[in-house]
Amino acid sequence: MQLSEILSSLGIQKENHGTSTGAQWIASQGEQLHSYSPVDGKEIGSFRTTDSAAYEAVIQKATEAFEVWRMWPAPKRGDVVRQIADALRKHKDPLGRLVSYEMGKSLQEGWGEVQEMIDIADFAVGLSRQLYGLTMHSERPMHRMYEQWHPLGIVGVISAFNFPVAVWSWNAFIAWVCGDVCVWKPSEKTSLCALACFHIIGEVLINAGAPEGINGLVCGGAEVGKWLSEDTRVPLLSATGSTRMGKAVGAAVGQRLGKSLLELGGNNAIIISEHADLNMALIGCVFGAVGTAGQRCTTTRRIIIHENVFETFKEKLVHAYSQLVIGDPLLETTHVGPLIDQDAVQHYMKALTEIKAEGGKAVVEGGVLSGSGFESGCYVKPCIYEVENRFKIVQHETFAPILYLMKYSKLEEAIAMQNDVPQGLSSALFTLNMREAESFLSHQGSDCGIANINIGTSGAEIGGAFGGEKETGGGRESGSDAWKAYMRRQTNTMNWGATLPLAQGIKFHV
């Protein structure tokens, strides 16, 4: 299939609306923004950003939709999500290709991202029959105590360019079965992927009779994000992106005592023990470092290697890097596609300068690729540097395929190094030694939201709660009981007796 056919099969035109209630597109006087593919630099299409009137229309429809949607039985809401999963299965190939073309990740990863949407949809369907609350034993006679979970209302979702469709689905599909309605602001760098999702899902929602407004879309930059952050009609704002963005969103939402769910930067390390299976570790490290061209929040940025295996593992890495195919991500044989845009290339180049200025030693040298196939100017070489953990640049998340190597002699020292960064998302240890593994997972082990043994830092499954500590923002999305963030807990006490005893034994007579 030609790219143009794929785009039109997903509803993407040359010019598109950027605002929707899920059932219809809304006109806006906002700016016309263009989306360029980092793959070949070509314009894919344009969309109009949401102006304040269009924003109001979406929030209005969402407010009305919530009144109706919250009263649908949760399993019925789950059934709508089941139909969404079916539609996504049908569109997996073209949607995966569009993700790859607009964002630049390899086709394997583009398909993988759509698979992640299907997986979370399936999870949400099951969850729709399992929104359990606890029951408690009252201290008073003939009293029953229990808790129940109610939907919150409008959930705002701000997502980043690197997972242009999956991160929205983690939020929206869970929020919907919980009885919430959603308003999504995708990254303006990958808005066409969002529009494609709206074309696929809009039809399902209409056919299922879901109220118009449960699936809102607003497009634009920081200003639209600010509207959502400051809007008291949006009780929960879930935001994925840089720590800088998260601090602004967290402060604005906190100011009005709203809830925020933040999933921000990572600075993820893999520790390679002298007891590691080095061949397994190699796959985890290389995929973790160069997958999505180093633009996952879970990307492996640091490898902390035991001194006894340092040289051997370094050689393996150098060899593996020499085999990497960099180029058109839509070709199935390509490992590494382009960075998202030329700004990202500038950040990458600046980081290389800083690494050298701080005394980093090149193991595999970086640089920008030019010539045939690289005309977009967004292709860079995945590179490796020997550094020290304390370097300023190492403490910072650079969204690019730059891998840092460090050496250790005792595991405690390696764990301390792994923890000694401002971020706390994902971490891993490769070892076949049980004591080492358990120590890494213990209270004095990794301080991250995700800690793995014998698998890398990226590619988390949707079944677990996803998110991290410290500057990563503390939020948890996706599986396990992350759904609780999308609901409000209510404690209920029911007195079925004929007297009114007070708690704590207090006597009060009138």
Q: Return the active site residues.
A: 263, 297
Residue 37 as a binder of ligand UN1 (CB under 6 A): the answer is: no
CB half-sphere exposure, 266, CA atoms < 13 A? 31
Q: Taking CB positions, which residue lies at the least distance from ligand UN1?
A: 460
Q: How far apart are CA 229 and CA 282, in angstroms?
A: 42
Mark the segment that binds ligand UN1 (CB under 6 A) among 74-82, 162-170, 186-194, 274-282. 162-170
Mark the segment that binds ligand UN1 (CB under 6 A) among 64-72, 184-192, 291-299, 416-424. 291-299
Which among 396, 398, 371 is positioned nearest to 382, based on CA atoms?
Answer: 398
Mark the segment that binds ligand UN1 (CB under 6 A) among 99-107, 145-153, 296-304, 373-381. 296-304
**Token pair listed for 418:** 């792994």
For β-strands 43-48 and 32-36, DSSP reports them as antiparallel
Q: Are 482 and 258 in contact (CB under 8 A)?
A: no
CA-based radius of gyration for the chain = 24
| Residue closer to ligand UN1 (CB basis): 51 or 263 | 263
Q: Which of residues 118, 234, 297, 344 is near ligand UN1 by CB under 6 A?
A: 297
Residue 240 as a binder of ligand UN1 (CB under 6 A): the answer is: yes
Binding string, 445-464, against ligand UN1, x = CB under 6 A? -------------xxx----
Please state the φ and ψ torsions of residue 66, each to the nearest 5 degrees: -60, -40
Q: Which of residues 163, 313, 321, 379 is near ligand UN1 by CB under 6 A?
A: 163
Nearest distance from C-beta of residue 178 to ligand UN1, angstroms: 21
Q: Which of residues 19, 162, 191, 273 is near ligand UN1 by CB under 6 A?
A: 162
Binding string, 99-118, against ligand UN1, x = CB under 6 A? -----------------x--
Residue with tokens 């039985």: 73
Q: Return the ∠ at Cα 368 (arms to 271 and 164), rounded to 5°.
A: 65
Q: How many residues bind ligand UN1 (CB under 6 A)?
A: 11
Q: Which of residues 120, 127, 154, 167 is near ligand UN1 by CB under 6 A?
A: 167
Burial (CB count within 10 angstroms: exposed 0-12, middle 13-18, buried 19+), residue 361? exposed
322-327, Cβ contacts within 8 angstroms, sequence gap of 24 or more: 324/286, 324/290, 324/382, 326/369, 326/379, 326/381, 326/382, 327/373, 327/374, 327/379
Mark the segment that binds ligand UN1 (CB under 6 A) among 208-216, 246-254, 293-301, 435-443. 293-301
| Residue closer to ligand UN1 (CB basis): 242 or 439 | 242
Interaction site with ligand UN1 (CB under 6 A): 116, 162-163, 167, 240, 296-298, 458-460
